[in-house]
Amino acid sequence: MKNLSLFFLIFSHLIILLSNANAQDAQNNAQKNTLIKGIVTANNQPLADVALQIDSAQKQYQVKSSANGTFQLEVLSGAYKITASKSGYQSQSLRLSAKGAEVSVKINMLVDTPTDSKSNKKAKAKSKEPNTDASVGVEGLKGRVISVGGGVGMGRIGGIGSAGVAYGYGGSGMGGKSGYGLGSRGRHSMSSALKAMPNQNEFANHSENNFFESKSSPLSTFSIDVDTASYALIRSYLNQKEKPDVDSVRIEELINYFDYQYDAPTAQDQHPFKVYTELSMAPWNPKHKLLHIGLQGLKIDTNHLPQNNLVFLIDVSGSMSHKSKLPLLKQAFSLLVENLTEKDKVSIVVYAGAAGLVLAPTPASDKAKIINALSALQAGGSTAGGEGIELAYQIALQNKIEGGNNRVILATDGDFNVGVNSEGDLLRLIEAKRKSGIFLTVLGFGMENYKDNKMSILAEKGNGNQAYIDSIAEARKVLVEEMGGTLVTIAKDVKIQVEFNPSKVAKYRLIGYESRILADKDFNDDQKDAGELGAGHSVTALYEIEPISENQNQKPQVDELKYQNSRENKPSEEWVNVKLRYKKANEDQSILLEHAHQGEIDWDQSSADFKFSSAVAMFGMILKNSPHVGGGNYELVRKIASQSLNENSYRMDFLEIVKQAMLIK
């Protein structure tokens, strides 16, 4: 009996202990839970039935917004990514840190519509309401706070807020009063104002390269160009059923948009790139030859990229309000942030009527903080581009990483209208910044008011590269798939000088690179700026050649000189000698390498890369109305390109835009 009593006594104590433990666990769990309360809107109106996926490293939750756009969910405290999706709208995502008893979230959905065409621009301009969300405050120099946009249009200066001077652009400024004018509270929306304006895109004009006689001008010298903006611009035009502006067509950028199967160097090789040459028939003129020169840069695994010190310099002026500009820009930069590593750091500088620091240097491990700062940006105001550049370079220099990748990434439509107005002023500003050792990437957004001429100057003169982002797919290509090439420079001031053998070549013509032509003496001048080559990037250049056999019995265009001996040709089977000069990314003395080419191959035996690059070049010449296109036409372009496809989907994309071009009269 005593044993039974003892058993019940022990058992009752165990029950009490377990109850206390469960109570303590429940209390601990309750302390670790956070209530997420949110609202989903579109055009400032509640949006129902939006699917919300809330992910953490340990768990995934799903919920839908109610009829009044609200949702709430109790989760364990921690870091979460919220993805909102609904048919007819662009998916939106943000990161948050769920701490404390409750956290509030607001998600603004954007209507997912195809790129504007002429037929629907007017209707869309009338129906689309501007975004009037409260904007992020910008921490400027001397403690000034600027509220960038509540509405999409430029308003008058707002009131004086407690935090400092605030500018309201069609909506409420942070710490300031409501602005006036072209926002939803003004007479016209910026969207409709833009649609009513004529095309105000600006492109630099460069005359197409002509033929030179190899006997009198045996050397051709130019800087490399890894930019790809022209291809995406042309695609944007054609997708809107519009013929591209002739000056928007830069053939070298069309060719260099694509990857080619060149042999890549290894880390043990002497030079950070390899040279490839091929010679065959020019398809648009079978009597001529085509010389294909390719460079392939060293490929670096993304896990071994150097540490990044990145400053996002973002244009939030009124001209950036269209969905193809700032909204797309924020998605693009978020993609990049997702692929940075914890050793990288990011700062954000914005500029509108003035420039300011939105985000101080922040480790890329804190992705939520960076992406939320991006998500909060709104557009409004004039464009103080020069002031923004000054501040961005200042921040980059203050946080410069020796041996790392120090780079400003400028995102804009190029419409600088305050501070730096002329191309000359812009040129002098960026050339001065180039000497700081900070590299530059220029990303262009939007149409109708795109200032490509200014963007190109920045990229060419600022130790930089240029791309045009017309879709989230293009953003992924530039900032994710080609991140190493976009962000990491492996060789700078890369110059090419080709010497033509006059016993083989009567005349030659460089296809494209008109803005990159250098004087022959510049090749050996280490003070002369030239283009940069990024990790994994390839560069391709084409020369059209008139062989000597066609020209051997013709009289020279210039009479023989009386007081100087004519050049005597040295017998050689070589067609050309290709010389390259480059500097390592952190050095100032150039390195020389040479590559001679001899022999030619039949068209049928030429490589797929040779054929595809010739098709792209022919396409560019047709768009430019080139007098050198000969028998080239769209059908021939399609035929050659379709015969030289590979697993790269971007070559298929090329066939699609050729088809679009054929439909435009």
DSSP label of 487 = H
The residue among 659 and 95 whose pLDDT is bigger is 659
Asked whether the predicted pLDDT for residue 17 surpasses 70, the reply is no
**Residue 16: pLDDT band by 50, 70, 90 thresholds?**
low
For residue 5, what pLDDT is reported?
Answer: 56
Backbone angles phi, psi at 516, to 5 degrees: -110, 5
Q: Which two tokens stand for residue 159?
A: 């009131």
Report the C-alpha gap between 61 and 73 in whole angstroms: 8
Give domain status of residue 22, yes or no. Answer: no
Contact status, residue 438 vs residue 190, Cβ threshold 8 Å = no
Give the residue among 184, 196, 160, 223 at the shortest CA–CA distance from 516.
223
pLDDT in tens, 585-631: 888 999 999 999 999 999 999 999 999 999 999 999 999 999 999 99
Give the residue among 247, 262, 260, 252 at the shortest CA–CA distance from 225.
252
For residue 12, what pLDDT is reported?
Answer: 58
The residue among 566 and 509 whose pLDDT is bigger is 509
Report the C-alpha gap between 145 and 149 in whole angstroms: 13
The rounded percent of the chain whose pLDDT value lies above 90 is: 48
For residue 18, what pLDDT is reported?
Answer: 53
Contact status, residue 136 vs residue 376, Cβ threshold 8 Å = yes
Report the C-alpha gap between 498 and 545 in whole angstroms: 13
Q: Which domain holds residue 102?
A: 29-111
Mark whether 384 and 263 lie in a shared domain: no
Asked whether the predicted pLDDT for residue 92 surpasses 70, the reply is yes
Asked whether the predicted pLDDT for residue 279 surpasses 50, the reply is yes
Q: Which of 450, 466, 482 is the last residue of a domain?
A: 466
Angle value at C-alpha 493, between 403 and 345, nearest 5 degrees: 30
DSSP label of 218 = -
Q: Please provide the average confidence, as pLDDT, over all residues in the chain.
A: 80
Rounded mean pLDDT, 200-205 = 86
Highest mean pLDDT among 16-30, 128-142, 474-488: 474-488
Name the β-bridge partners of 441.
409, 465
Instruction: Write the single-letter amino acid at 518.
Output: L
Dihedral of alpha carbons 244, 250, 252, 258, sign: negative
Mark whether 424 and 367 lie in a shared domain: yes
Give domain status of residue 263, yes or no. Answer: yes
Beta carbons within 10 angstroms of residue 602's beta carbon? 8
Give domain status of residue 288, yes or no. Answer: yes
CATH number at residue 46: 2.60.40.10
Contact status, residue 433 vs residue 392, Cβ threshold 8 Å = no
For residue 586, what pLDDT is reported?
Answer: 84
Report the C-alpha gap between 594 and 581 in whole angstroms: 9
User: How remote is the C-alpha of 474 from its chain's centroid?
Assistant: 8
Asked whether the predicted pLDDT for residue 224 surpasses 80, the reply is yes
Report the C-alpha gap between 247 and 288 in whole angstroms: 26
pLDDT in tens, 157-184: 233 232 332 333 333 333 333 232 223 3
Q: Which two tokens stand for residue 370?
A: 């960076």
Asked whether the predicted pLDDT for residue 266 surpasses 50, the reply is yes
Q: What crossing angle do the helices spanning 608-623 and 649-663 adopt, rounded to 10°?
A: 30
Beta carbons within 10 angstroms of residue 416's beta carbon? 26
Q: What are the residue ranges of helices labelled H in 33-103?
A: none
**Residue 33: pLDDT band by 50, 70, 90 thresholds?**
confident
For residue 222, what pLDDT is reported?
Answer: 97
Mark whether 450 and 320 lie in a shared domain: yes
The residue among 568 and 46 whose pLDDT is bigger is 46
Rounded to the nearest 10 degrees, how much is the dihedral formed by the CA atoms of 221, 260, 272, 527? Answer: 30
User: How remote is the C-alpha of 241 from its chain's centroid?
Assistant: 23
For residue 19, what pLDDT is reported?
Answer: 54
Mark whether 358 and 397 lie in a shared domain: yes
Beta carbons within 10 angstroms of residue 82's beta carbon? 21
Instruction: Write the single-letter amino acid at 217.
Output: S
CATH number at residue 431: 3.40.50.410
Mark whether 249 and 325 lie in a shared domain: no
Give domain status of residue 204, yes or no. Answer: no
Contact status, residue 641 vs residue 610, Cβ threshold 8 Å = no
Contact status, residue 201 vs residue 248, Cβ threshold 8 Å = yes
Mark whether 443 and 321 lie in a shared domain: yes
DSSP label of 531 = E
Q: Which of 171, 196, 221 is the last residue of a domain?
A: 196
For residue 383, what pLDDT is reported?
Answer: 56
Dihedral of alpha carbons 111, 117, 120, 123, sign: positive
The residue among 304 and 137 whose pLDDT is bigger is 304
Q: For 70-79, 308-317, 572-581, which range has the lowest pLDDT when averaged over its residues?
A: 70-79
Contact status, residue 38 vs residue 60, Cβ threshold 8 Å = no
Give the residue among 224, 185, 121, 170 at the shortest CA–CA distance from 534.
224
Mark whether 407 and 435 lie in a shared domain: yes
Beta carbons within 10 angstroms of residue 194's beta carbon? 22
Give domain status of residue 586, yes or no. Answer: yes
Q: pTM for the complete prediction? A: 0.70
Asked whether the predicted pLDDT for residue 80 surpasses 60, the reply is yes
Give domain status of residue 565, yes or no. Answer: no
Dihedral of alpha carbons 132, 137, 140, 143, sign: positive
Q: Which two tokens stand for residue 533?
A: 């080559």
**Residue 48: pLDDT band by 50, 70, 90 thresholds?**
confident
Distances (CA, A) of 38 to 43, 143, 378, 516: 16, 32, 20, 53
DSSP label of 271 = S
Beta carbons within 10 angstroms of residue 604's beta carbon? 8
For residue 34, what pLDDT is reported?
Answer: 86
Asked whether the predicted pLDDT for residue 44 surpasses 70, the reply is no
For residue 591, what pLDDT is reported?
Answer: 96
Q: Which two tokens stand for residue 525?
A: 């001048």
Residues near 111 by beta carbon (within 8 Å), at least 6 away in sequence: 42, 43, 88, 89, 90, 128, 323
Asked whether the predicted pLDDT for residue 75 surpasses 50, the reply is yes
Number of helices (H), then strands (E), belonging to the chain: the values are: 16, 29
For residue 151, what pLDDT is reported?
Answer: 32
pLDDT in tens, 138-153: 333 333 233 333 333 3
For residue 449, what pLDDT is reported?
Answer: 78
Give the residue among 304, 621, 229 at the shortest CA–CA distance from 456.
229
DSSP label of 605 = G
**Residue 457: pLDDT band by 50, 70, 90 thresholds?**
confident
Total tally of structural domains belonging to the chain: 4
Rounded mean pLDDT, 235-252 = 94
Asked whether the predicted pLDDT for residue 121 surpasses 80, the reply is no
- Owner of token pair 């009269």: 665
Backbone angles phi, psi at 288, to 5 degrees: -100, 160
The three-state secondary structure class of 15 is helix
Mark whether 328 and 440 lie in a shared domain: yes
The rounded percent of the chain whose pLDDT value lies above 70 is: 75
Mark whether 37 and 62 lie in a shared domain: yes
Rounded mean pLDDT, 462-472 = 90
pLDDT in tens, 415-437: 765 455 556 776 777 788 878 88
Residue-level length of the chain: 665
Mark whether 521 and 657 lie in a shared domain: yes
The three-state secondary structure class of 509 is strand
Rounded mean pLDDT, 562-582 = 79
Mark whether 624 and 511 lie in a shared domain: yes
Mark whether 343 and 438 lie in a shared domain: yes
Residues near 527 by beta carbon (within 8 Å), at least 6 away in sequence: none
User: 126: burial class by Cβ within 10 Å (0-12, 13-18, 19+)?
Assistant: exposed
Give domain status of residue 482, yes or no. Answer: no
Give domain status of residue 121, yes or no. Answer: no
Asked whether the predicted pLDDT for residue 101 surpasses 60, the reply is yes
**Residue 519: pLDDT band by 50, 70, 90 thresholds?**
very high
Distances (CA, A) of 63 to 54, 105, 278: 8, 14, 59
